[in-house]
Amino acid sequence: MVATPRKQFRVPAGLAIVGLGALWGAGFPAIDIVVEQLPPLGAAGIRYAVSGCIVLAYAAATTDRLLPKTWRELLGIAVIGGFMFGGYQAGLYMGTTYVSGAVASVVTTMSPVVAAVVAVPILGESRGILDIIGFFVGIAGVFVLSQPSVGTASVSSTAIGVGLVFLGTTLFAVGSVTIQLFDEELPAESLQGWAMVVGAGLLFFGAAARGEAVPALRSLSPLALGSLLYITLIAGAGGYLLYFRLVRRVGATETTLVAYLEPLSATFVSVVFFDQTLDETTVIGFLAVAAGFTLISRETMRHAVARLRESDTSEVRSSRNHGD
Q: Are 25 and 261 in contact (CB under 8 A)?
A: yes
C-alpha dihedral (174, 175, 181, 185), degrees to nearest 10: -160
Looking at the domain assignment, is residue 130 inside a domain?
A: yes
pLDDT of residue 32: 93
pLDDT of residue 286: 86
Looking at the domain assignment, is residue 6 inside a domain?
A: no
The range of the structural domain enclosing residue 255 comes to 13-323
To 10 degrees, what angle do helices 222-229 and 27-34 make?
130
pLDDT of residue 249: 73
> What percentage of the chain has pLDDT greater than the value 90?
40
Question: Per-residue pLDDT for 42 more than 80?
Answer: yes
Record the pTM: 0.85
Per-residue model confidence as pLDDT tens digits over 233-283? 999 988 888 888 777 776 665 666 787 788 888 988 988 888 887 788 888
Q: What are the DSSP calls for 91-117, one per residue? A: HHHHHTTTS-HHHHHHHHTTHHHHHHH
Taken in order 33, 38, 42, 46, the sign of the CA dihedral is: negative
Looking at the domain assignment, is residue 1 inside a domain?
A: no
Average pLDDT of the residues in 69-80: 92
Total count of domains within the chain: 1
Using only C-alpha atoms, what is the Rg of the chain?
20
Q: CA 79, CA 172: separation in Å to the nearest integer?
A: 10
Looking at the domain assignment, is residue 148 inside a domain?
A: yes
Q: 183: exposed, middle or buried (C-beta count within 10 Å: 0-12, 13-18, 19+)?
A: exposed
Looking at the domain assignment, is residue 90 inside a domain?
A: yes
Question: Per-residue pLDDT for 27 more than 50?
Answer: yes
Looking at the domain assignment, is residue 2 inside a domain?
A: no
Q: 49: exposed, middle or buried (C-beta count within 10 Å: 0-12, 13-18, 19+)?
A: middle
pLDDT of residue 9: 38
Looking at the domain assignment, is residue 5 inside a domain?
A: no
Looking at the domain assignment, is residue 264 inside a domain?
A: yes
Residue 217: other Cβ atoms inside 10 A:
11
pLDDT of residue 218: 79
pLDDT of residue 176: 85
Per-residue model confidence as pLDDT tens digits over 131-150? 888 889 988 989 888 876 55
Q: What is the 3-state secondary structure (H, E, C) of 284-319?
A: HHHHHHHHHHHHHCHHHHHHHHHHHHHHHHHHHHHH
What is the overall mean pLDDT for the chain? 84
